Chain A
Amino acid sequence: MGGEEERRPKLIQGNEACAEGAIAAGCRFYAGYPITPSSEIAEVLSYRLPAVGGTFIQMEDEIASLGAVIGASLAGVKAMTATSGPGFSLMQEHIGFACMAEVPCVIVNVMRGGPSTGLPTSPSQGDVQQARWGTHGDHPIIALTPWSVRECFELTVRAFNLSEKYRTPVILLMDEVVGHMRENVVLPDPSSLEIFDRVKPSVPPEWYIPYEDTSFGVPPMAPFGEGYRYHVTGLTHDVRGFPTLREDEIEPFMARLFRKIWSHLDDIQTWDTFQMEDADICIVAYGSVARAAKRAVLEAREKGKKVGLVRLITIWPFCRRAIEEALKGCKVFLVPEMNMGQISREVKRVVRGRGEVLTVSKALGRLLTPNEILEPILEESR
């Protein structure tokens, strides 16, 4: 990329934009296993990565894919994988490993209908709670949900930045519509992007304590092979990385794992609002459904209804403040989703009786229409 030629609008897919975003973010390693509707990401990267000196490898399954990604990241190379529902299920154990050992990596899940093989070529948002709680044990997680082709690029870059900054796996939750949709976009000039690279230790190896607490909560990370020899394990460990069963070591470790994310919500959480200034009804949507929701807002406004949209960009940790702010003007919330009601649970948790939460929960393997979203609003004010 780069140069005048490249800045012209291009008709590309969300999956292609994601792959280009990865290259722009500095990703130089991809390991994956083919699965619809994410395979184009692998195909583009098998072509693009070797050309920039990187590595693409198709592994024997998704467990192996995320294992290889974590290995590459430990060796100091930004790495990612992409998959869909069945593969995402297989990756759960290694998502936990990356949380535990604090290894930066990006996992793209282009959501399709489930459970099981489900609806392989159809969109869904059925993996939202799995992204949060899929791996065993308590852990925080960051997940982002793009709604457009350009945002697939931007949020892939952001996913890498957040994973490097907080030493954590970051999940990019796309859906089949966003992944396969083509839009005419001008991708950002890579040189204009802000790229964050993991902080390396500034102390000599003798002083390096790999899992030491810092005021920021994220210890500097040394790549394998550069003189900082240390131990990495999925067992609960002390500050040196060695397995521990001691309560006085387990407690501060778990606390830091959470604190490093929870004390930086300002930096991690983003959402967008549309016509919320005077709204008394708030639609909360994300991913491709937010496109239909925006249309629904416009149509409702034509009918004289004061409806606005909160579009979640960071889906995990859940943007509580977005809802709190909307609560200042809105008493009715509507959460349309291509699942049986996964994010509406979160909205209800925040609203807690201070307003009404309506849902449009459909897992039918198709995009929701503006009319379907409008229906409960029109009924509500009847």
Chain B
Amino acid sequence: MNEERRLIYHYLRHDKKFPHVWCPGCGNGIVLGSLIRTVHALGLSKDEVVLVSGIGCAGRLPVYVDFNTLHTTHGRALTFATGIKLAKPHLKVIVIMGDGDATAIGGNHLIHAARRNVDLTAIIVNNNIYGMTGGQSSPTTPHGLRASTSPYGHAEHAFDIARLVEAAGASLVARGTIYHVNLLDKLFQRAMEKVGFAVVEVISHCPTHFGKLNFLGDAVESMRWMAEHAVAVERAKKMRPEELQGKFRIGVLVDRDMPDYQSEYEKVRKRAMEGVPYRIDPQEISKMLESHQIY
């Protein structure tokens, strides 16, 4: 066994009967590998990591790894993760979701977790489709393409997940692909190190459904497509808009320091414990309103 495989082996659950549920060529295994390398690189203990997922092919990821693992309900993983993190702030809570899981049924939880800036790492595996249930359209299915429920071409337009969570208030927003694995390791690391809500959108694929329905070839071909269309953010800055046409940016897209939910709630606890009524100076109120730069 080479070193890499030995490392992965150390984190897998051997009492869980393999083989896993994923199709040959699926991107989920690559995401899992990256996740394990990142946890290892950060020196996190298995005991302090909680891996939470929703329902879908991506949602099956936690069961294979030897952390505290929680496979929740479709779309709601972030709500369980919020409860865990607030109850036991020392735990490193990582949430893994599919694109349908995170942005359709779980879209409300996604924007609110971002707005609250709960200290969580959210990994969204975007394969543009509902994999587990057989290739139905998702909120990230591109306009005009086919899905098992869009046989005449998809009439809707897709979410840009990164811009969605940026607008909602996430502290860190990154995008990677299952082709650029070294970058993915780095993005996972940045997200896990970040205090606050950190999102990594992983551009993945589903050769079984999305690939087949849209004549995209096998897993290798679709990864080649990723290689040809992804542009590192650093390089994108130097490119003209025409050159960026049809490409997508990968790397850390947003990184900003904002107080996370726990540290804000700690202030609430302190006030409550001191037992003095919370009064705000009228001048402070106008300052607070002014700094509320939404409009």
Contact = CB atoms under 8 A, between A and B. Distances in A.
Contacts of A28: 87
Given A74-B70, A230-B68, A60 B47 contact: no
B80 A67 contact: yes
A234 interface: yes
Nearest to A244: B17
A243 B13 CA distance: 14
Interface string A114-140: 000000000000000000000000000
A293 B87 CA distance: 43
Which of the four size classes fits the interface of chain A?
A: 35 or more
Contacts of B76: 63-64, 67, 94
A71 B80 contact: yes
Contacts of A77: 87-88
Contacts of B63: 231, 233, 242-243
Interface string A59-98: 1110111011111111111010000000000000110010
B272 A231 contact: no
A255 interface: no
B73 A229 contact: no
A174 B109 CA distance: 28
B71 A71 contact: no
B71 A233 contact: yes
A50 interface: yes
Nearest to B59: A233
Interface of B: 13, 15-17, 46-48, 50, 52, 62-63, 66-73, 76, 79-88, 90-91, 108-109, 112, 265, 268-269, 271-273, 275
B16 A242 contact: yes
A316 interface: no
Majority SS at the chain A contact face: mixed
Interface of A: 28-29, 31, 47, 49-51, 53, 55, 57, 59-61, 63-65, 67-77, 79, 93-94, 97, 223-227, 229-235, 240, 242-243
Given A68-B82, A69-B83, A72-B84, A55 B91 contact: no
Contact of A224 (B16, B50, B73): B50
Contacts of B84: 71-72, 74-75, 224
B19 to A, nearest CB: 14
A59 B87 contact: no
B67 A67 contact: no
Given A75-B84, A234-B71, A242-B63, A63 B273 contact: no
A224 B88 contact: yes
A227 B71 contact: no
Contacts of A69: 83
B109 A225 contact: no
Contacts of A97: 72-73
A231 B271 CA distance: 37
B112 A225 contact: no
A68 B73 contact: no
A60 B86 CA distance: 16
B224 to A, nearest CB: 34
Given A230-B68, A240-B15, A29 B108 contact: no
